[in-house]
Structure 1
């Protein structure tokens, strides 16, 4: 009786190990570790310098949040190109409140930034989920609209670090149990969203919507409501990223976060979130964000020219999209074979 029990446990562990080793998240994590090792061998200070590990954890924190926001929307077979503009407006609001009202508690400043992000996400949600306009077109438009509002609001001014209260600046560079505060917050958001997407029924239904929107409607899933909430959540997370951006860098202007919209898409895709929707994880998107930032930090250390740095990132994104498509076709063939066997 003991031997079969041990055999069953061994098989269970082997099955778990096989799933881990074949997952996209594990593959991206392995590439990340290898990249860090290569950079450390070339430049030991990259990891073992005074702030090596701290920078490795802190620098990707904001992009991790944007990648998570993007992943939630991509999984529903949509896209949010306005996340960076949402970050910018939220960062300007947080900086304005902190500099104008230095006595306001930081949680209230953060709440205001999250509220701003949720409001902007609601604009996208109404146009996409209720009106039915294409997400690519809507969020491309709001990318410029939100940024234009930011430019008008800032009116050419910059909120500098000297304008910020001391507690706001110290928060951006502070630590919790020896870990950067911003990294801990980003990790907490990843854990919460990953739990929701993986274990709540409505979270699983987001995958169903992305896999086959027509089938989701036939099954009676509340597709419009869930897509609506996905865009609101994306905006709220981007708003939090805006608050952290203002705290991290101290100085905020109308171009805060500019260009990060494409980086958020790239990070999510690199982490295994399918651009066609229906698959991928928040964990993968977060790891993809860390990998993307690490690539941008390590390639200059290895003497790679800037042009080739961009080419490497572009090649990785194209490779990830091709891999997603191949895996999708493989799954479709397997399902077709199973149906044929059942019919026989």
Structure 2
């Protein structure tokens, strides 16, 4: 008898570990299928629109699409992290508006302030808003939907009170800051590079760090995660702080992109952010999805907004198309969850 013929005994623990490994591999494959499907839909939409109007893929139009996607993609990354934990942040639009206006005021009152310092201030203000949200949700255990719906109005009200009807114009801000909003590196907008950096950083955190993987465990079953020793409150708090910080960064980039700021900046964008995350394959009930899919969802929704008018589709049907995508994404999430559950049950049955 050789060593190859000697096999370790199959125990209940071994079977459970094998089932968990199989489940993780299956989940990873399903996520890849979802993201590839979104990418395919994006390619088909761009190809169809290009066939109708060849100028759709002009260098300037591609640049405009990337710039338009940047803010939404950054917000979607933060929102995806929150939704993975089975929560939602409806205040991101108000946080964006507050941070954008704060950035403009900072430049007006201190024209010589370094741009990195101004950006850091905007991110810090957004993170502070995330602390408010996360503290109420994690410490007081108030539902995230209720808390962030309330802070959506609170933060927007603070913005309106601060602005008092005032508008900050591009002439009031440094030219170097405004140039950053339209500058390119090798043809790629600088603002899009910020979004790529945020996406890669968040993706690496979720995939390679224990704290990131614990967010998925919390979203899958918060009670089980708590019983297994995961600091659920602390992780959820951190998720909201990250979402707030990214909303603050998005506000700074919004200011650089548009230059003209008032208290209405980012008004209503939170619904588009949630739509992008759901369309991007992040399960609204938490526990699955990726920030890469969320970013692809943001690019897809932005492209839909630019492509459908070229195709002669009325604004009503543009909104209907986005709604249909959301419903299809939710239905697909449910179908994939059922399929995964059947596969896992089948694996356990064979193991027994």
TM-score, normalised on structure 2?
0.90
- Counterpart in 1 of 2:262? 253
Are 1:25 and 2:8 counterparts? no
Unaligned 5+ residue runs, structure 1?
1-14
CA contact (8 A) 2:30 2:336 kept: no
After the TM superposition, list the runs of 4 or more consecutive aligned residues in structure 1 that deviate by more than 4 angstroms.
Answer: 18-22
Q: Secondary structure at the match of 2:199?
A: helix
Q: Secondary structure at the match of 1:59?
A: helix
- 1:280-304: per-residue Cα shift (whole Å, max 9, x none)? 0000000000000000110011000
Distance across 2 between alignment mates of 1:116 and 1:177: 32
Unaligned 5+ residue runs, structure 2?
1-24
After superposition, where does 1:177-256 map in structure 2 within 5 Å?
177-256=186-265
Aligned equivalent of 1:42, options 42, 52, 56: 52
CA 22–287 in structure 1, closer or farther in 2 if over 3 Å, else same: closer
- Counterpart in 2 of 1:74? 83
After superposition, where does 1:1-344 map in structure 2 within 5 Å?
19=29, 23-48=33-58, 50-342=59-351, 344=352
CA contact (8 A) 2:282 2:293 kept: yes
Q: Secondary structure at the match of 1:158?
A: coil
Distance across 2 between alignment mates of 1:55 and 1:21: 29
Distance across 2 between alignment mates of 1:99 and 1:303: 42
CA 316–165 in structure 1, closer or farther in 2 if over 3 Å, else same: same
Distance across 2 between alignment mates of 1:83 and 1:21: 25
Distance across 2 between alignment mates of 1:123 and 1:22: 35
Shift of 1:52: 2.0
CA contact (8 A) 1:21 1:27 kept: no
**Alignment RMSD (CA, Å):** 1.6
CA contact (8 A) 2:31 2:290 kept: no
- 1:139-170: per-residue Cα shift (whole Å, max 9, x none)? 00101110011000000111011111211111
Shift of 1:197: 0.5
Q: Secondary structure at the match of 2:328?
A: helix
Shift of 1:20: 8.5
Shift of 1:21: 9.7
CA contact (8 A) 2:92 2:244 kept: yes
CA contact (8 A) 1:75 1:280 kept: yes
Q: Secondary structure at the match of 1:173?
A: coil
Distance across 2 between alignment mates of 1:38 and 1:52: 15
CA contact (8 A) 2:278 2:284 kept: yes
Q: Secondary structure at the match of 1:156?
A: coil
Distance across 1 between alignment mates of 2:278 and 2:61: 27
Aligned pair count reads: 327
